[in-house]
Amino acid sequence: MAGENITEPMQEASADDAAFWSLTDKFIGFANEQAASNDVSVVNASFLFASARFNTFLIANQCGTKENFEAEKAAALEYFVNQYKIALTEHMADYQAKFDTYIKNT
C-alpha cells in the first residue's frame, strides 16, 4: 500500500551510505598502511589498477554475457572515467582550500 514503510528506502540508502563511508575509510586506511612500507607512488598505482580491475569485474558480472559486455563497455568506461574525474576534482579543491592543514611541511 502507498505510504506504508515510507522510511524503508531512506533506511536502505542510509545503510548504503554508512557502508560506503566505512569501506572508503578501510580502503584509505589500508593504502596508508601500505604507504608506510612502500613507495607511495607504487601504492597509488596498485590502488588504481585494483579499482580498474574490480570495476571491470562489476560491469562484466552485471552484463552476464560477453556480447552484452562488449555492447556496454564504452558506456561503462565513460561512466567510470567521469565518476573518477568528479571525485578527483572535488578532492583537489578540498586540498587546495585546506592544503596547510592536510600537508604538514615541517
State pLDDT tens for residues 6-18. Answer: 334 445 668 889 9
Question: Would 1 be classed as within a structural domain?
Answer: no
- Is residue 2, in this structure, part of any structural domain at all? no
- Mean pLDDT of the 23-38 span: 97
Task: Mention every residue, 6+ apart, whose C-beta is less than 8 A from residue 63.
Answer: 69, 71, 72
Label residue 21 exposed, middle or buried (CB < 10 Å: 0-12, 13-18, 19+): exposed
Number of folded domains that form the chain: 1
For residue 27, what is the domain's CATH number? 1.10.287.3020
> Does some domain include residue 4?
no
User: Is residue 26 domain-resident?
Assistant: yes
* pLDDT tens track for 37-90: 999 999 999 999 999 999 999 999 999 999 999 999 999 999 999 999 999 999
34, part of any domain: yes
Query: In the predicted model, is pLDDT for residue 106 greater than 80?
Result: no
Range of the domain at 62: 10-102
For residue 58, is it within any domain? Answer: yes
